[in-house]
Structure 1
Amino acid sequence: MGTQSLFSRIRKQLASVANGRRSIQDWYVDRRFGSIDPTAPLGRRGEQVAARELRRKGLQIIAESESDRAGEIDLIALRKKPRLMVFVEVKTLSTTRPGHPADRVDENKQARITRAALRYLKRKRLLGIPCRFDVVAIWWPREEPQPTRIEHIESAFDATGVDSFFA
C-alpha cells in the first residue's frame, strides 16, 4: 500500500511538471509571437493567428486593420532583408463545409486591397519598396479552441484594378 501511494504521488508530480512545462511553452509563444484573445470575434482571432504565423516566419507586423476610404488591409508586414512590404488578407472559415477560405478573395476584393495598399504606400512615402499580396487562410470550427489548419499563400494575387501598380 505504501509503494502504491508513493508511485501515485510521483505520477501526480510528473503530471503537474508536464502541465507546467506546457504552460511555460504557451507563455513563451504568446510573449514572442503575440497572444490570441479567446473572447474576440472570429475574424479578429483569425487575424491574431495570422500575425503570429507571419512573425514566426520572420516578418515584422507594422499595421493591423489599416483602413481608409479606399478599403481595408488586415495586416501589413515588413520583411527586412531583402526589403519587402507584404499586404495580407486574412480569411477565417468557421464552418466545415467544403471550400477554401481564399476563394472568397475575388477580383473586387483584390482591387480594393490594391487601392488601399497604394494609398498606404503613398501616405507613408514608401512607393519605391517592392511589395506583394498574400492571403492567410484559416479553418477554425466553432467548437474548437484553436484553428485546425492555417495556410499562408505567398503572392496570392497581383495588383489589380485601375489603380494597380508594379511591385
Structure 2
Amino acid sequence: MDHQRVRTGRDSETLALTYLQEQGLKILERNVRCPLGEVDLVARDGETYVFVEIRSHRSACWGMAEESIGRAKKMRVVRVALWYLKHRGLLGMPVRFDVVAVQWMGNDARIRWIPGAFDAQGLG
C-alpha cells in the first residue's frame, strides 16, 4: 500500500471537512460504507442532505482532481446515498451531490468545492 497516497487522502478529507464546515455545512458522517460502496462525507446544507466525494491529486499531470470521477463512481455514490436515506427514514428529503477537489502543490493545497457537481438523473 502506498503510504503517501493514504496520507494524502486522509489529509485531503480533513481539509475538505473543515472547509465545508467553514462554508456552513453540518457534517453528519465521514466515510459511510455499506454493501453498495462508500461515500466520503454526508453533510446537511439547510434541509438538503449533501453527499460529498473528495478527490485529490499531488500532480497536475493527471489532470484536475474532479475529472477523475467517472460514471461508475457517480453511480456508486448515488446508490450509497439512496441506501443511507432509506436506512435512516429520510427518503424524499432534498439531496445534492458535491465534489471537493484538493490539488496539492508540495505541502500547500488548493480546494475547489463544486456544489451539485452531478445528480442521479441519467446515471441509471
Q: Flag whether TM exceeds 0.5 (same fold).
A: yes
Which whole-Å CA distance do the structure 2 matches of 1:134 and 1:96 have between them?
21
Residue 13 (structure 2) pairs with residue 51 (structure 1)? no
Q: How many residues align?
A: 118
Which whole-Å CA distance do the structure 2 matches of 1:138 and 1:93 have between them?
7
2:98 equivalent in structure 1: 134
> 1:128 deviation in Å?
2.1
Structure 2 counterpart SS, 1:156: strand
- Structure 1, unmatched stretches of 5+, are 1-39, 163-167
Which whole-Å CA distance do the structure 1 matches of 2:41 and 2:55 have between them?
12
1:88 to 49, 52, 55: 52
Residue 119 (structure 2) pairs with residue 158 (structure 1)? yes
Which whole-Å CA distance do the structure 2 matches of 1:48 and 1:159 have between them?
26
Q: Which has the higher contact order (CA 8 A, sep 6+)?
A: 2
Give the partner amino acid of 1:69.
P
- Structure 2, unmatched stretches of 5+, are 1-5
Structure 1 counterpart SS, 2:40: strand
> 1:98 deviation in Å?
5.4
1:76 equivalent in structure 2: 42
Residue 119 (structure 2) pairs with residue 119 (structure 1)? no
> 1:146 deviation in Å?
3.1
TM-score norm. by structure 1 comes to 0.67
Give the partner amino acid of 1:117.
A
Residue 107 (structure 2) pairs with residue 145 (structure 1)? yes
Larger Rg, first or second structure (1 or 2): 1
1 or 2, which has the higher helix percentage? 1
Which whole-Å CA distance do the structure 1 matches of 2:60 and 2:93 have between them?
39
2:3 equivalent in structure 1: none
Which whole-Å CA distance do the structure 2 matches of 1:98 and 1:117 have between them?
28
Give the partner amino acid of 2:40.
D
Give the partner amino acid of 2:13.
E
Q: CA RMSD in A?
A: 1.4
2:63 equivalent in structure 1: 99
Give the share of equivalent positions with the same residue, in percent. 37
1 or 2, which has the higher strand percentage? 2
Which whole-Å CA distance do the structure 2 matches of 1:43 and 1:114 have between them?
21
> 1:129 deviation in Å?
1.0
